[in-house]
């Protein structure tokens, strides 16, 4: 019996010693991480990805819908302006962008690809994504985005452009569209890019 226990202990120690250390992405998500929201997404190129796969570097996140003729196009251009200002100020690449649709019924991969083309934004730096699975409303609430479908099929919604840190925690937010907010640009510049 003692011999068997000793052998099992030695086997456990040798397996543990040979195991590679856990990668940062293997660590448990922090309680305040947006990545706690299970959300399966598909980008404008049709590539599936999990929300939590964004972990490891800062990310700019917002919500849009592709058929929007009002504030969503301005939101995209505002984020472009933020990224340009950050790159100019810091001399480094600004964080990548993920824009999540809250209209998956109409926002097909083709519709998102058309929106990306119209705004001259390219993957992998820009990912316009539709939810395939998960609770998009919970994700929106975490960011501070509220939306309501109107009888005509369009949406009433607010805008939040959010900076997430490498662990998916909200570092900074702005609801300013049009001219990028200088304080937000400062915060994104300090966060760095990829």
pLDDT of 123 over the 60 cut: yes
- Residue 25: predicted pLDDT: 52
- Run of H or E residues at 77: helix 71-90
Q: Name 166's Cβ contacts closer than 8 Å, sequence gap at least 6.
A: 55, 56, 57, 58
Domains of the chain are 32-191 (3.40.30.10)
Q: Name 50's Cβ contacts closer than 8 Å, sequence gap at least 6.
A: 38, 39, 40, 41
Encode pLDDT of 2-61 as tens digits: 444 333 333 333 333 333 333 345 688 788 899 988 899 999 999 999 989 999 999 999
Mean pLDDT, to the nearest integer, of 50-79?
95
Encode pLDDT of 153-179 as tens digits: 999 999 999 999 999 999 999 999 998
CA distance 183 to 194: 21
- pLDDT, the chain, mean: 86
CA distance 86 to 93: 8
């Amino acid at each position: 019996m003692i011999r068997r226990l000793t052998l099992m202990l030695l086997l456990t120690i040798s397996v543990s010693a040979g195991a590679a250390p856990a990668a940062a992405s293997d660590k448990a998500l922090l309680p305040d991480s947006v990545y706690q929201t299970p959300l399966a997404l598909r980008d404008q190129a049709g590539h599936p990805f999990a929300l939590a796969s964004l972990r490891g570097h800062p990310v700019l996140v917002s919500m849009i819908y592709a058929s929007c003729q009002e504030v969503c196009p301005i939101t995209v251009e505002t984020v472009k302006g933020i990224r340009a200002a950050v790159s100019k100020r810091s001399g480094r690449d600004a964080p990548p962008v993920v824009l999540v649709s809250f209209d998956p019924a109409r926002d097909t991969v083709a519709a998102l690809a058309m929106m990306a083309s119209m705004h001259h934004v390219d993957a992998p730096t820009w990912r316009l994504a539709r939810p395939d699975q998960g609770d998009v409303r919970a994700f929106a609430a975490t960011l501070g985005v509220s939306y309501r479908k109107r009888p005509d099929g369009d949406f009433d919604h607010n805008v939040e452009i959010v900076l997430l840190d490498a662990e998916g925690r909200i570092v900074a937010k702005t609801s300013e569209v049009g001219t990028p907010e200088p304080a937000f640009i400062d915060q994104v510049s300090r966060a760095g890019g990829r």
